[in-house]
Structure 1
Amino acid sequence: MAGGHDNIMTTQEYIKKVNEDVSEDDHFTLGPWLSVIVHLHGEGVMSSGCLGDMKKYCINGKLELVVGVVMSCTPNALGDMTVTLKDPTCIMGGTIHYKVFKNEDDGYTKSIKVRYVLILRNVSVFTPKPLKHYLNITIRNIVKVFRQGH
């Protein structure tokens, strides 16, 4: 193929490769996760996971791109939401700042639930102990939320 595009794969080939690379976990083979993969591939972004390799992906205390399935989400007394996100490499806890839910116009008030998938950019990582990391998610970090049936 002319122009050096021999290594470009179709979206279907990319989804097949991503599915081969992940465990037998259905979070990564159905619904919102596949929608995210198609969305990112359409933007030219290839992502399979970063939570399991902080040394490689965390630069200056931030992760450039996080794509994760919401495994749990619980409001806390401060109005924030405590979440657990999972990507193909790891499960990690974090907090979504209360301002994400404060403004109904932003569309996030009711749209972050278990099994939904978040695309996050430039997320701060809090590391209270070596090998213990937490995500600090604000409104600026949320790129898109993929819901069931999306």
Structure 2
Amino acid sequence: MIERWFQEIQNIPSVKGSFITTMRGTVMGKHGIKESDRQLQNMALRILRIHALMHQSGNKLSEIELYWNHLLIIGKISQNALLVTICEDAHVISLLRITMNVSLSHILQEKKISKKVRSHATDPGHLLKKGTFDEEERALLAQK
């Protein structure tokens, strides 16, 4: 059933694909993306670390947009999951945001997904305790 909602996102012009992860970065599903789950997890962890940095400074984000290799990467953050969409053009951003919101709410109603995200729920600050910070992350921390 989650394929239907991934397809709704995929139907938007310029969308290359999307995937959903837990708040710990575990990939639960993907559509239209050829990258490995490990690569997607690394991308998700970057987005989740930015979210955690902003959360600790009192700025709660529900969405993060990144530009990388001429691609727009949008991470939609819910309470327990992250939906990431990769697209080639920002002209459809309004429609994409609406579709991601609707799709994420429906995906999270799936029993298999809701069970997994609940079991992987974590405090955003948990991600900051792992690994080292790159230069951009240190700059965000310095703004605190």
TM category (shorter chain) comes to under 0.3
Q: Tell me which structure has the larger Cα radius of gyration.
A: 1
More helix by share: 2
Higher relative contact order structure (alpha carbons within 8 Å, sequence separation ≥ 6): 2
Question: Normalized against structure 2, the TM-score is what?
Answer: 0.25
More strand by share: 1
Question: Normalized against structure 1, the TM-score is what?
Answer: 0.24
